[in-house]
Amino acid sequence: MLDKIDRKLLNLLQRDASRTNAALAEAVGLSPST
């Protein structure tokens, strides 16, 4: 089951699949290594 962070990550990637791991992590408030 997807949690809120997973859904946000999927939404961000659907809008711009070229985002880096660091940019995605920053957008959802996690460290890039997570």
Note down pLDDT in tens along the chain; length 34 residues: 999 999 999 999 999 999 999 999 999 999 998 6
Q: Residue 22: CB partners within 8 Å, gap ≥ 6?
A: 32
Q: Provide the whole-model pTM.
A: 0.82
Q: Decide: residue 19, CB within 10 A, 0-12 exposed, 13-18 middle, 19+ buried.
A: middle
d(CA 25, CA 34): 8
